[in-house]
Amino acid sequence: MRLLYLLPLVSLVACKGAPPAAQPVAAPQKAAVTQSVHAAAVKEEKLPAVIELSGTLEADERSEVASSIAGLVTEVAVDVGSKVKKGDLLVRIDRRDAAMRLAQATAATAQAGARLGLAPGGAFNANKVPEVQAAREALDLAETDAKRAKALVEGGSAPQSQLDTAKSRQEQARAQYEATLNGARTSWAALQAAKAAQDITEKASADTDVIAPFDGVIDAKRVAPGEYATVGKVMVVLVRTDPLRLRVDVPETNAGSVQIDGDVLLTVSAYPDKVFNGKIKRIGAALKAQSRALAIEAEVTNTDGALKPGFFAHVALVLPGKDAPALLVPPSAIGTSGSAARVFVIQGGVAIERIVAVGRNWQGLVEVRGALKPGETVATDSLDALTDGANVSVK
């Protein structure tokens, strides 16, 4: 009876079923951040036309500074990257041997001068040498005696033998005078040789200090204190990096447009958003047979040392007398994306990234080439905070 009473209650619960499962509640979405930026319009102007080429930067001068004497290296005053001025000490070689040889040569010069009776810096006159003067006086006396003996013989006051003796003494005195005169001249030649030897030893003594031949930067150091340097051993490699030489091959079709002092613009991968300027200074005499190209060299100022010899350069050779439309933006509108330059175009409150190639500087603006149109608006600050598709507002 009790079981029958519970059946309706169980049926009622079964009909109602299990309660529904709870539904997940979506989290509130965060509003997108809007970046506030300054902006400027893309301008179009006519600029001189250019030829786009490639080139290589090289040092203006490169010297493998070598030793002109042999000796022990006692000091190396520079290292790789050291900046030096012309005349600065690079390497010092032991000067004791050179100093002793110089003292010996100086003494030999003084001795040779003393033989001639010369004061330091005095002019040479062979007849002023004491030995020559004495020989000349002896010759004059012998000639006088010969004349006197001749007169006595002719007057019958002296025998012929006296005249013969006087003439013999005269000839001996003349021979002695000529020998003494030649000896003085030989001593003068020896003095000149001693002075030359002294000059050589003075140079050798000075050459113990190896100095910089021009202003530049040390590119390599090839010696250390304690090494024995032989004549001709390269001690350091010195390069002049201001200005640099830009070497470019111009195609035959454009060779006629190249002029001395023509403008050259270049960029390098190390500074993709910076344009460097140069001037054509040297033009090859003939085209290269294989490439049919004309080699030219431009000088590029490198006061801050940013450019390095060996850099590959993208070159724009400005053609005289030709203008072409170009797009210009402020320098601050150009950012970088890896090794490429970029700008952000603002359209409908959204920043759109455009990859561009940077050209020349022009009246405070920078030429750009890419998917841009005149009049488009580009961001000029906060570029690092912008991404493609970011919301922006113009200040």
Q: What is the pLDDT of residues 327-345, one digit of tens each?
A: 999 999 999 888 789 999 9
Domain 37-61+238-394 part of CATH 2.40.30.170 = yes
Confidence of residue 373 (pLDDT cuts 50, 70, 90): very high
Confidence of residue 32 (pLDDT cuts 50, 70, 90): low
pLDDT at 295: 94
Q: In angstroms, rounded to a whole number, what is the distance separating the alpha carbons of residues 235 and 222?
A: 5
Question: Per this entry, what is the length of the chain?
Answer: 395
pLDDT at 347: 93
Tabulate helix, strand, coil % of the chain (nearest 5): 30, 40, 30
Q: What is the pLDDT of residues 84-98, one digit of tens each?
A: 999 999 999 988 777
Confidence check: pLDDT of 112 > 80: no
Greater confidence (138 vs 328) lies with: 328
pLDDT at 38: 93
Category of 135 on φ-ψ map: left (φ > 0), alpha (ψ -120 to 50) or beta: alpha
pLDDT at 13: 37
pLDDT at 122: 66
What is the pTM for the complete model shown? Answer: 0.56
User: Helix, strand, or coil here: 46?
Assistant: strand
Angle at 82 between CA 76 and CA 87, to 5 degrees: 70
Burial of 343 (0-12, 13-18, 19+ CB in 10 A): buried
Greater confidence (16 vs 292) lies with: 292
Paired strand residues for 393: 36
Q: What is the pLDDT of residues 356-367, one digit of tens each?
A: 988 877 778 888
Of 246, 248, 346, 353, the closest CA to residue 301 belongs to: 246
Q: In angstroms, rounded to a whole number, what is the distance separating the alpha carbons of residues 96 and 69?
A: 13
Confidence check: pLDDT of 115 > 80: no
Confidence of residue 225 (pLDDT cuts 50, 70, 90): very high
Could you tell me the sign of the dihedral formed by the alpha carbons of 348, 349, 353, 359, in that order? positive
Q: What is the mean pLDDT of residues 135-157?
A: 85
Tokens (6 digits) for 171: 């000839």
CA 239 to chain centre: 4
Main-chain dihedrals φ then ψ at residue 78, nearest 5 degrees: -135, 170
Share of the chain above pLDDT 90, in %: 41
How do the domains of the chain map onto residue ranges? 37-61+238-394, 96-205
Confidence check: pLDDT of 7 > 70: no
pLDDT at 119: 62
User: Helix, strand, or coil here: 66?
Assistant: strand
pLDDT at 154: 82
Confidence check: pLDDT of 232 > 70: yes
Confidence check: pLDDT of 320 > 90: no
Alpha helices by DSSP H, 63-129: 96-115
Q: How many CA atoms lie within 13 A of 151 on its CB side?
A: 6
Q: What is the mean pLDDT of residues 113-130?
A: 71
Confidence check: pLDDT of 39 > 60: yes
CA 346 to chain centre: 46
Confidence check: pLDDT of 178 > 90: no
Q: In angstroms, rounded to a whole number, what is the distance separating the alpha carbons of residues 116 and 152?
A: 40
pLDDT at 23: 53
pLDDT at 375: 93
Element (DSSP H or E) covering residue 27: none
pLDDT at 218: 94
Confidence check: pLDDT of 198 > 80: no
Share of the chain above pLDDT 70, in %: 90
Paired strand residues for 280: 298
Tokens (6 digits) for 377: 């608006």
pLDDT at 120: 63
Of 34, 128, 41, 131, the closest CA to residue 333 belongs to: 41
Question: What does the mean pLDDT of the chain come to?
Answer: 84
Give counts: helices (H), strands (E), the chain.
4, 20
Q: In angstroms, rounded to a whole number, what is the distance separating the alpha carbons of residues 224 and 207?
A: 17
Tokens (6 digits) for 213: 């031949």
